[in-house]
Structure 1
Amino acid sequence: MTPVRDRWLLVYAAGAVVFVAMLETSIVNVALPAIRDDLGSDPALTQWTVLAYLLPVVALVLPAGRWLDRVGKRVALVVSVGGFAVASAAAGLAPGIGFLVAARVAQGVCAAVMFALMPVLATLAVRPEARGRAMSVLATLGPLGAVTGPPLGGLLLGVAGWRPVFFAVVPVAVAIVLVGVFAMPDDGPLAVPDRHWLAEAALLAVGAGVLLVALTRTAEAGPEWLLLLLPAAVVMGLWWRMPASRPVTTLLNVSGVFAGHVAVLLLALGFAVMQFLLPFYLGDVVDVGPEATGLTMLAFAVGMGVAGPVGGVLADRWGAWRAGAVGAVVVTVGLLLVQPLSPGWEPLDVVWRLALAGIGMGLYGGPVQAMVMTAAPRALIATTGGTIQLARNLGFALGPAVATTVWAVDRYSDTGMRTALAVGVLAAGCGALTLGAHWWRRARNRSATVDPGRQPVPERSSSR
């Protein structure tokens, strides 16, 4: 049912959901040495503090979306965000590294549901004509959470140690739960997944988990870890042949949905390549300290934060695909201007280029997500939330792996760094071309099926 009025409180609650979930992907990184020293663990085991969160997020976000299509959204919000708060507090109270890793796994499971749920909340909370602005709230606050994580974690670490790094999200999570309890209608119970769903989730978890380990370890230990992509592909191929995959294949055959997913993955990959390489460039080539590096990297977040609301307005007034395609082009141009990585640059030379790329990301993110969610069948709206988040997370995970692999070919030289960033620019450009091609096909189809002065004929589903 289309809402008779826009409920922006729910939209901002959904934005807070994605903010805290993304914050937890990055805030812990700066605290790893302190956790290692305080809990007496070795570096390899301490690293699982990060992986224990990321693995269930990537592995379970699609099954979570499939499950959310069958249950009440209010109770799912309360349970997932409430569970996230409890797991965060448990992580902050952890007496040992094993307890901490277990708490992080619980956080990741809840976050997978949250990632799949938040675009559903924003979609259901507003009328279609306001959906671009609603999705831009999510598309802005999510990356801001990821970018805010390291400086906020460093501040908390310096003032009070590593445990407040986990406690910081608890008050926000409690506030979100209260919004869910008092501002959302009761739309059904929380059904227990059946055994078929559990089998599907297990297979997807294994495939996506192996894929994430391959990509993460490639970025840390070398390209040989890419060999794990073979068993991951086999497992995902088995899932693709299961009846449970049919809703996903049906979804991807809807006009524009596949193009949107491809663009989201490729642009996330290009952004992640840049985010991975620039700290090395600023530290090793420009020779600036970590404080200057952090401030320089914030330029992307500032540009995106400024442009995000503009992207939403353009999507609602100008058309989501058109606004998204223009934003994707601006992202690509910004990354292209960063790509030379001249040894003579100062941090300010990088700042304005990063800000331009961030402006493009702000213009692009909300409109494309709004168009995909609008095009999706109503019965698969939560599945769509899961698939779009999976595409984005895979892009973020692929970026460091691609950058490391290409950079290593040239023995980690400055030239190899530029080549790796050029690959990221190429990926972003392909994402922009994907959106532009779909925009052109839409315009051509409408010109062939619409008479002057008459209403457009609804688009038919097309194969990918």
Structure 2
Amino acid sequence: MNRWRLVAAAGIAVFMAQLDVTVVNVVLPTIEHEFGTGPSVAEWVVLGYVLPLIALTLPGGRWLDQVGHRAALTFSVAGFGAASAAVGLAPGIGWLIGARVLQGAFAALLLALVPVLTTVAVRPEMRGRAMAVVMTLGPLGGVTGPAVGGLVIERLGWSWIFFLNVPVSLLVIAAGRPALAAGARPRPPGRARLAETALLGGAAATLLLALSLSAGHGPAWLALAPAAVPFALAWRRLPDSRPVRALVGSPGMAGPHLALAAEMAAVMSVQFLIPFHLQRSGTASPAEIGLTMLAFPAAVLATGPAAGALADRAGARAVALAGAAAVTAGLVLLLPIGAGWGPADLAWRLAVAGAGAGLFAGPNQALAMARAPRDLLATTGATTSLARQIGVALGPALATATWSLTGYGVPGMRAALGAAAVLAAASVLAQLDPRALRTATPPTATERHGA
């Protein structure tokens, strides 16, 4: 059996799950009109998916460490496909939001599982290339979501955004199952997992509410965010939190997690801001705005696969560091943005940042997985997925809050892009952990888990 089929299946799965984070943004006005609801309710079509991504990722990853990979793949992908069909068939807004929550729950399991499947699929000396393929497709799904959604709505209707996940899910299962051993059967999660989910869900819901309200009603609502702290402290006291805290706190592990959260927040800030600039300046049509934004994912696709080969030769840390530096450079180049800047001025700068993102994603994930204990691979996949989703949620909210300080003018746009550049620079600094440089092993053929 060609184990690269499993890598391809994992890549398609993560593309599908990440695409569903952003694809729904373009369908919200249609859903709002069709179900006769307002923006504040329609927004939960987005948040209903993101909430379980944050709340269930850690307990889901711990649970996946105890079941066989074949059963885990079948359960998570089949559940995601079934929930997607339920969204498309929704007769009302309540059903739709509930189905989106269920879809997000299975996506949380799927995103925690994908790095594990990629890690076990290939030999250690090929792992950087395999992870680069998968981690290139993940961000690509997120940033191409709005463009894909627009085309599907125009040709087939909004429900087909979700119906198309069903045949894709069947394809992933058919490609991935033969390459995996049966392993242990899934068991229902115990009370400890449910308590962990409730506490993380409370913290996530509070943060998402604060970010949502701040984006719509002003940055003063960010004052609600500290209310998440009691939930986080209560989770920290749980016995099940100890392995997670020990994992993230071990030498070499904090850097990839912090870098990932900061880089995703920076990228999503820019993806949120640039279309507004082009629309308000009147320098581009809707089609030209879409083509301009495609410069970023096109550059990701160009450099992502090469990043894996480079990581296998030169070490993942060096390639990830170069990628984060390139993202920072691309965002710094955007700082002088002016009212007259059009698609040509922005596209090449977005391409610089996209090229860096392609270099960063796969090697950074390979670095984290290589440093993880063998019995905590799914937990590591979960913690990195959580870091990614925090960045996805945080970026647009921080961009909106910063932009609003000057009445949504060009100076505020520059300030928001400056904040994104600072986040990108923080992703570089996070990788310069002195403990990691002294003690961690690079993810090449001499990785910790290599055979």
- TM bin, normalised by shorter chain, reads over 0.9
Contact 1:151/1:294, CA 8 A, preserved across alignment: yes
Distance 1:349 1:258 in 2: 36
Q: In 2 relative to 1, CA 41–443 (structure 1 residues): closer, same or farther, beyond 3 Å?
A: closer
Contact 1:271/1:399, CA 8 A, preserved across alignment: yes
Distance 1:315 1:332 in 2: 20
Distance 2:39 2:414 in 1: 30
User: Which amino acid is the alignment partner of residue 316 of structure 1?
Assistant: D
Q: Deviations over 1:261-280 (max 9, x none)?
A: 11111111111111111111
Contact 2:283/2:341, CA 8 A, preserved across alignment: no
Question: Offset at 1:445?
Answer: 6.3
- SS at 1:380's partner residue? helix
Residue of structure 2 in register with 1:142 after alignment = 138
Residue of structure 1 in register with 2:248 after alignment = 252
Contact 1:56/1:209, CA 8 A, preserved across alignment: no
Contact 2:54/2:200, CA 8 A, preserved across alignment: no
Contact 2:24/2:149, CA 8 A, preserved across alignment: yes
Question: Offset at 1:125?
Answer: 0.8
- SS at 2:81's partner residue? helix
The correspondence for 1:80, drawn from 55, 76, 83, is: 76
Residue of structure 2 in register with 1:461 after alignment = none
Contact 1:303/1:359, CA 8 A, preserved across alignment: yes
1:105-124 pair list within 5 angstroms: 105-124=101-120
Distance 1:17 1:222 in 2: 36
The correspondence for 1:356, drawn from 352, 357, 378, is: 352
User: Which amino acid is the alignment partner of residue 269 of structure 2?
Assistant: V
Distance 1:286 1:274 in 2: 18
Contact 2:19/2:145, CA 8 A, preserved across alignment: yes
Distance 2:153 2:202 in 1: 34
TM-score, normalization by structure 1: 0.92
Distance 1:418 1:378 in 2: 45
User: Which amino acid is the alignment partner of residue 82 of structure 1?
Assistant: A
Shifted more, 83-92 versus 178-187: the winner is: 178-187
Q: In 2 relative to 1, CA 68–457 (structure 1 residues): closer, same or farther, beyond 3 Å?
A: closer
Counterpart check, 1:223 vs 2:219: yes
Question: Offset at 1:456?
Answer: 9.3
The correspondence for 2:314, drawn from 310, 318, 329, is: 318
Any unmatched runs of 5+ in structure 2?
A: none
Question: Offset at 1:157?
Answer: 1.1
Distance 1:109 1:457 in 2: 32
- SS at 1:166's partner residue? helix
Counterpart check, 1:372 vs 2:368: yes
Distance 2:67 2:238 in 1: 22
Residue of structure 2 in register with 1:462 after alignment = none
Instruction: Give the alignment's Cα RMSD to 1 decimal.
Output: 2.1
1:118-267 pair list within 5 angstroms: 118-267=114-263
Counterpart check, 1:296 vs 2:254: no
Question: Offset at 1:129?
Answer: 1.2
1:387-406 pair list within 5 angstroms: 387-406=383-402
Question: Offset at 1:457?
Answer: 12
Shifted more, 97-106 versus 323-332: the winner is: 97-106
User: Which amino acid is the alignment partner of residue 340 of structure 1?
Assistant: P
Question: Offset at 1:227?
Answer: 2.0
Moved over 4 A (4+): 440-446, 455-458
Q: In 2 relative to 1, CA 121–238 (structure 1 residues): closer, same or farther, beyond 3 Å?
A: same
Q: In 2 relative to 1, CA 442–214 (structure 1 residues): closer, same or farther, beyond 3 Å?
A: closer
Distance 1:59 1:456 in 2: 35
Identical residues among aligned pairs (%): 48
Residue of structure 2 in register with 1:450 after alignment = none
Distance 1:287 1:190 in 2: 54
Contact 2:369/2:380, CA 8 A, preserved across alignment: yes
Contact 2:210/2:222, CA 8 A, preserved across alignment: yes
Question: Offset at 1:406?
Answer: 1.6
